[in-house]
Structure 1
Amino acid sequence: MNDFINELQLKIERLENEINFKNGLISILSHDPKELFGTFLWLIEELEQKTLSEEDFFKLLPQVKRDAQKNLQTIQDSNAWLKTQYGDFKIKPVKIMVMDLFHYLEEKYAAQLNEKNIKFYFKGDHDAFLTSDRLLLEYVLDKIFNNAVKYSFPNQDVYLQATTEGDQVVLSVIDSGTGIDEKYLSTIYNYGSPIFLGTAGEKGVGLSLKIVKNFISLLKGNIQIISAENKGTTVSLFLRKFIE
């Protein structure tokens, strides 16, 4: 009887988490684009009515651009999550060399790394591999690495570390950037948590890590974030070496 109750409680907890996740996603999708387009429409109307000078209009464009980039990222993240909600979605495990993931990030972020003069290194087991869903795993690493670059200062280093522990592979993205204050760390997956700007003014909506946690659950893994303000962040993924 106790086992049945415990199992039922776990199911209720999973359902509550899923409902909270979906409600938060709906809140973000309904608020952010409305705010952006409202601001953009106001700027155009002010310019048309000549209550805003062209000079001031162009001064405001960089901020509008950052808001647009943030909202585009929200839509892309949401679309990635929606693909996992279709009835026929299934994990598609393939053999993935961790070094291939390193080169994927290295190539995708070449421009951003160069812009901040950040060096990206691999350390650990160069022969490490796992069987996992490439689409989900690349998304997860992409978002974690994006944050590492965003919150790193120029001329700092970022690492992808791989260790194999029995039937588990641990992938860690390590930076020495701004870090996260301990009082915010416990609420990082909550929708009420604060949003921080990157070291070059990069803006986010705080959605990516929430989807990352959702995807890690689909991959039957765990995520751990260790961080200290002004000392950097280490995000570790504990993944099964083989997933069915």
Structure 2
Amino acid sequence: MHFPDNIFAIILLITGMFSLWVGLAVFYKLSLAVRWFGAIILATAVWAITYGLELSSVDLSTMLFWTDIEYLGVATLPALWIVFVMRFTGKEAWLSKWNLSFIFLIPGLTLFFKWTGVFGLQYAHISVSKNTPFPLLNITPGIWYQIHTVFFYMMLAWGIGLIVTKFKKAEGILKRQNRLILVGAMIPWAVNLIYLLHIRPFKYIDLTPFAFISTSLVIGIGLLRFRLFDIMPVAREKIIEALHEGILVADQQGRAVDLNPQMKKILGNQKRSYIGDTLNMLFTEIDLLKEAENQPEHGQLEVSRKENGQTRFYAVTITPLPEQKTIHSGNVFLFRDITDRKQNEQKLEELNQLKDRLFSIIAHDLRSPLIGLADMIRLAEEGDLNSEEFISLLPELSKNIGYTSGLVENLLYWAKSQLSGATVNPVLFDLQPVTAPLLGLFQHNADEKGVKIHNQIREATFVYADPDMIQAVLRNLVANAIKFCRQDDFVFINASSSGEQVTISVEDTGVGINKENLSRLFAQENFTTRGTVNEQGTGLGLMLCQEFIEKNNGTISVDSVLGKGSRFSFSLPCVAHELVDMH
């Protein structure tokens, strides 16, 4: 290293020394919240000074020595920033020991990887470029460098988001101070982005420390001119008024002594003032005072309330107000609306169940016949089956193909209905032309088993529904009826009208259903039983029928007598009604 002979190093050294002095003054003279900003200034100063010394160096070893010290500022800046913002915005409760440990975990790992150089995680390759006006460090970033960069931007964005969210309704000097902080935070973000886009002086110089020095000066102006942190109690009051969380302060007797506008909104805004009302009057669903006595400090519980006919859920944080070390003068209740989260958790649980159900069907019902088909074709290709044996297996092959085709068709219908919501296109249509093709579709299967199908639906039997969905329902019900019929049994398709409803039934004289299976049919449970000649089922047909009927404003039911047959009935409107929302 020699005396700085380039403007970049000189600027960094001078401004870095100035920032070091300002940071020490802020750290030792001002309050705790401001000390964290003082720590930011100190980290910036360390970065600036050591980077200036790096730019003054001429050999690799000296440069790396200064970068090791430089990283004391580089690695810790994002963590110091988010801690400062949390304190500035009144989020001290978030800064538990565990949370602080997590916030400083990545900076700690960054320092470790930089100082040890293990596996090239921080710097994959380092060299000195001398094709510049003065020697510069040429760095190829490692994978951890990228991780720390993402962490840097996440902390910066999170901090800015907290400031914008909590202070967007600020007025007067509060608005000016917050604008100043935001501008100061945006400067290094923008400059570092330019650096990452490889827009750099002399190809290698990082202007980010210059930007952080500028930020320190901007915030410094705010400290001197607006006395930012002297008005923090006022800012706190403004924040509480603007909070999206409800805040309720109660005394030892459980009487409301203060609450913010959001809390009034949660309570329904039914009164001009809730001061003096007891917690039991305000919350009949839960004894909040008793819960406060039983909860540890900063305890949390969930409560639900009926609002405008809907149930809303709140996470309630209870913080005691200390009067002396062992005496509390009351409690602060913070209500955070978690209705969306609870609904999302429920949807996630439903999606997980759907995923498990789909995988189960694919793994068991679809995989087995496909393996059988593949084995049969492989034997034929290898010559292990002669023509006569292959022809004798064709009926079984045809059954397997028919089963697999039906399973895939039902699976696609059902999965689409569950995942994206099958679109309902209701029209007023005549049932008779829709059911007539079913006779031709199942005639071959019925003839093979000696089953007679009678379509007794008359012409001009109109329903208001989606024709494709109703055809899929009838196709599954008729297929089921034939499956459980014996030779010389009958299948009847009927329809009857009553007021604004039409009831359609598919009845058979087959073997019937035992009580245990009868209770499982419409329980959203995937199961199947074999038919009278060992036919397989998809396990999805009746689930699909229930889905489609309910989405067409109908209901479905079943009656069965073991040994005598079964009757599946479903009702549909015969006039236009608003359908169930499918989206």
1:71 alignment counterpart: 404
- Name the CA shift for 1:33/1:156 in 2 (closer, same or farther; >3 Å): closer
Partner of 1:4 in structure 2?
310
Looking at structure 2, the residues matched to 143 and 192 of structure 1 have their Cα atoms a distance apart, in angstroms, of 15
Residues 47-196 of structure 1 aligned to structure 2 (within 5 Å): 54=386, 58=390, 62-84=395-417, 90-123=423-456, 126-189=459-522, 190-191=524-525, 193=527, 195-196=528-529
Distance 2:378 2:445 in 1: 35
Aligned equivalents of 1:56, 1:230: Cα separation in 2: 39
- Between 1:65-74 and 1:138-147, the stretch displaced more is 65-74
- Report 1 or 2 for greater relative contact order, CA contacts < 8 Å, sequence distance ≥ 6: 1
Partner of 1:5, secondary structure, is: strand
TM-score (norm 2): 0.36
Unaligned runs of 5+ in 2: 1-304, 313-338, 579-583
For 1:136-184, what per-residue CA distance to the aligned partner results, in whole angstroms no more than 9, with x for missing partners? 0100111001111121122222111111121111111111101110111
In structure 2, C-alpha distance between the alignment counterparts of 1:42 and 1:241, rounded to whole Å: 50
Query: Counterpart in 2 of 1:28?
Result: 361
Fraction of identical pairs, as percent: 25
Deviation (angstroms), 1:84: 4.0
SS in 2 for 1:202: coil
Q: 1:160 is matched by which residue type in structure 2? A: I
C-alpha displacement of 1:103: 1.3
- Which residue identity is paired with 1:31? H
- CA distance in 1 between partners of 2:442 and 2:376 (Å): 33
Partner SS state of residue 533, structure 2: coil
More helix by share: 2
Report the Cα offset of residue 30 of structure 1. 3.3
3-state secondary structure, aligned to 2:538: coil
2:447 & 2:381 partners in 1: Cα distance? Answer: 40
Q: Distance in 2 between matches of 1:133 and 1:26?
A: 29
2:540 corresponding residue in structure 1: 207
1:125 and 1:163 in contact (8 A); partners too: no
- Corresponding residue SS for 1:109: helix
Deviates more, 1:116-125 or 1:225-234: 116-125
Q: What residue number does 1:226 align with?
A: 559
Q: What are the Cα deviations for residues 189-231 of structure 1, in whole angstroms up to 9, with x where unaligned?
A: 45453x3222233221211111111112221211101112211
Stretch moving more, 91-100 or 171-180: 91-100
Q: CA separation of 1:182/1:17 partners in 2, compared to 1, >3 Å: closer, same or farther?
A: farther
Paired residues of 1:125 and 1:164 also in contact (CA < 8 A): no
Determine helix, strand or coil for the equivalent of 2:311: helix
Question: Which region of structure 1 is more displaced relative to structure 2, 199-208 or 224-233?
Answer: 199-208
How many angstroms does 1:20 deviate by? 3.3
* Post-superposition CA distance 1:66-91 (Å, at most 9, x none): 33332221111122234546869531
Q: Does the C-alpha gap of structure 1 residues 78 and 150 become closer, same or farther in structure 2, counting only changes over 3 Å?
A: same
Q: Which has the larger radius of gyration?
A: 2
Structure 1 unaligned segments of length 5 or more: list them. Answer: none
Greater mean alpha carbon deviation, residues 231-240 or residues 53-62 = 53-62
